[in-house]
C-alpha cells in the first residue's frame, strides 16, 4: 500500500467533477489544495465533514487554498450532494479508486465490526508547488475543517 507523507510530491490526477468538467490538481498552480477523500455522499460523517469545509470555504480561499473532495460516487450523486448542502467546491468521482489508491487512501476498514475495503477518510494539504505539507490519516468530521485551518494559519 502506498503511503504519502509530508514532504512527498502529491500524485497527479484528473477526474470528472461535479462542475461538469474534469479537474486536475495541476489546474491550480497558484493555490494550495485541501484534498480530502471520503467514503460516501450524503452519509452522516461525510455530510458533517463536507459542511465543515463549506462553512470554512471563504477563509480557506482567502488563505490561498482550494478544496477538492474525492469519493467513488458517480457525478449524479455528487451533484445531488452538492446541491442539497450548497457545497461551493467540486466533488470528484473516482469510481475505481485509482486516485484514492495512489494516495494510500483506500484499504481495509472496520465498520461496526464488519471488515470491508473502501475509501479511507483522509486529507492531504498540498502546497502550490505540489508538495504534501500535512496528512490527516484520522479525521474528526465535526472539527476537521477547523483543524485544517489551524494548520494553514500556522504556516503563515
C-alpha of 46 from chain center:
11
Q: Which residue's entry shows cell 467533477?
A: 17
Contacts of 143 (CB under 8 A, 6+ apart): 52
The per-residue pLDDT for range 18-51, each reduced to its tens digit, is: 999 999 999 999 999 999 999 999 999 999 999 9
106 pLDDT above the threshold of 90: yes
**For the structural domain made of 14-155, what CATH number should be given?**
3.40.30.10
111 pLDDT above the threshold of 80: no
Point out the residues that are catalytic: 46
Q: Residue 56 gets which letter from DSSP?
A: H
Q: Residue 43 gets which letter from DSSP?
A: S
| Closest of 151, 16, 121 to residue 74, by C-alpha | 16
pTM for the model stands at 0.95
What is the average per-residue pLDDT within 108-115? 84
Which pLDDT band holds residue 1 (cuts at 50, 70, 90)?
low
Amino acid at each position: 500500500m502506498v503511503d504519502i507523507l509530508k514532504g512527498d510530491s502529491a500524485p497527479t490526477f484528473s477526474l470528472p467533477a461535479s462542475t461538469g468538467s474534469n479537474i486536475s490538481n495541476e489546474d491550480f498552480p497558484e493555490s494550495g489544495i485541501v484534498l480530502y477523500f471520503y467514503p460516501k455522499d450524503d452519509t452522516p460523517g461525510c455530510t458533517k465533514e463536507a459542511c465543515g469545509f463549506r462553512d470554512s470555504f471563504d477563509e480557506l480561499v482567502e488563505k490561498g487554498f482550494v478544496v477538492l473532495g474525492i469519493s467513488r460516487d458517480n457525478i449524479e450523486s455528487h451533484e445531488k450532494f452538492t446541491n442539497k448542502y450548497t457545497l461551493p467546491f467540486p466533488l470528484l468521482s473516482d469510481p475505481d479508486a485509482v486516485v484514492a489508491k495512489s494516495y494510500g487512501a483506500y484499504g481495509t476498514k472496520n465498520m461496526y465490526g464488519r471488515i470491508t475495503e473502501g475509501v479511507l477518510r483522509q486529507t492531504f494539504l498540498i502546497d502550490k508547488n505540489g508538495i504534501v505539507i500535512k496528512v490527516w490519516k484520522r479525521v474528526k468530521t465535526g472539527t476537521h475543517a477547523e483543524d485544517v485551518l489551524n494548520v494553514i494559519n500556522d504556516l503563515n
